[in-house]
Amino acid sequence: MSEALFSLRGVVKRFEEREVLNLERLDLQAGLITVVEGPNGAGKTTLLSILALITPPDHGRLFFDGHEISHSGKQLTAWRRQITLVAQQAYLFESSVEKNVAYGLRLRGLARAEREQRVAQALELVGLGGFGPRRARQLSGGEMQRVALARALVLRPRALLLDEPFANLDPASSQVFERVLAELPGQGCTVVLVSHALEQAHRLAQKLVYLRQGRLAPQAGQ
Ligand SMILES: Nc1ncnc2c1ncn2[C@@H]1O[C@H](COP(=O)(O)OP(=O)(O)OP(=O)(O)O)[C@@H](O)[C@H]1O
Ligand SMILES: [Mg+2]
């Protein structure tokens, strides 16, 4: 039996009285790629934000790696550092590509030589070798998205959460993303991916979760 890296029990999220998420029971297995699908407004981004430990649920219990998460606990930063979210809209700082990618490693206090090596590796991996010195905000939308992926990969998180990672990518970049993501479970990284790019998402998915109006649905369209 494989273990769940994330477990949600009775998790409810409301925005101004309106319930946008209500998940009685959801387990996301370690070392797998789980794809979350559902129409606009189904609660997918809200779910990722809860899994990233950014948004606290209003009700229910959330477990990460067997530990119950408390949003007021001292452990929260340590748990958060094991989980990386790549948002729907990449937010890059007004600096070079390499500084953007190195940011999380600096926060974690890695030595400069190791930082530089890991940043160069991650940029190569997403097909942006040599982009290090360029201004991040002057890149194209798809290039920025690739920088955002490199910035996440460089951290080697236990869990990587991606919100619509294929949205602005050309077919070649999509293929690069797909290949990079497919290799992550083998490196011990658990992936949760929200995507409307169904064909690609289905190729990658080792498990599929459908959301409709904030609830788990048995299958697409129901
Ligand atoms: N900060 C917020 N304040 C109020 N309502 C919100 C907030 N964030 C999300 N919502 C509402 O919660 C619902 C779910 O939003 P969410 O962004 O999770 O949907 P989604 O499944 O990611 O949709 P999409 O496919 O369009 O990205 C929507 O109806 C949205 O209006
Ligand atoms: Mg969304």
DSSP 8-state secondary structure symbol assigned to residue 185: G
- Across residues 2-11, what is the average pLDDT? 93
Q: Which domain holds residue 98?
A: 94-156
Q: Locate the ligand 1 atom nearest the alpha carbon of residue 211 and give its number.
A: 21
pLDDT beyond 50 at 222? no
H/E element, 75: none
Give the three-class secondary structure for 151.
helix
How many angstroms does the Cα of residue 47 sit away from the middle of ligand 2?
9
Q: How far is CA 124 from CA 93, 150, 200, 210, in A?
A: 20, 9, 22, 34
51 within 8 A of 161, measured Cβ to Cβ: yes
* Bridge partner residues of 59 (DSSP): 12
Q: Is the CB of 50 under 6 A from ligand 1?
A: no
Is the sign of the CA dihedral 213, 16, 63, 88 positive or negative?
A: positive
Pairing status of strand 67-68 against strand 59-64: antiparallel
DSSP state of 13: E
Distance between CA atoms of 130 and 187, rounded to whole angstroms? 25
For ligand 1, atom 18, the nearest C-alpha belongs to 43
- In a domain, residue 33? The reply is no
- Give me the sign of the Cα torsion angle 198, 65, 1, 156: positive
- The reply to whether 50 falls in a domain is no
At 15, is the secondary structure helix, strand, or coil? Answer: strand
User: In 31-69, which positions are buried (b, 16+ CB within 10 angstroms) versus exposed (e)?
Assistant: bbbbbbbbeeebbbbbbbbbbbbebebeebebebbeeeb
Query: What's the one-letter identity of residue 97?
Result: V
State which ligand 1 atom lies nearest to the alpha carbon of 196.
Answer: 25
Per-residue confidence (pLDDT) for residue 88, from 0 to 100: 83
Residue 194 lies in a domain: no
- Residue 119 located in a structural domain: yes
Domain presence at residue 184: no
Residues with CB under 5 A from ligand 2 (ion): 44-45
CB distance 69 to ligand 1 below 6 Å: no
Tell whether 152 is covered by a domain: yes
User: pLDDT tens digits, residue range 80-123?
Assistant: 999 999 998 888 999 999 999 999 999 989 999 999 999 999 99
Cβ of 17 less than 6 Å from ligand 1: no
| Under 8 Å between Cβ of 184 and 33 | yes
Answer yes or no: is the C-beta of 20 below 6 A from any ligand 1 atom.
yes
The 10s digit of each residue's pLDDT in 143-163 is: 999 999 999 999 999 999 999
Q: 198 CA distance to ligand 2 centroid (A)?
A: 15
Domain count along the chain:
1
CB atoms within 10 A of CB 174: 17
Q: Taking the complete model, does pTM exceed 0.85, yes or no?
A: yes
In a domain, 18, yes or no: no
Question: Is any ligand 1 atom within 6 A of the Cβ of residue 40?
Answer: yes
Quote the CA–CA distance of 83 and 190 in Å, as a whole number: 9
Residues 30-44: pLDDT tens digits? 999 999 999 999 999
* Domain-embedded: residue 164: no
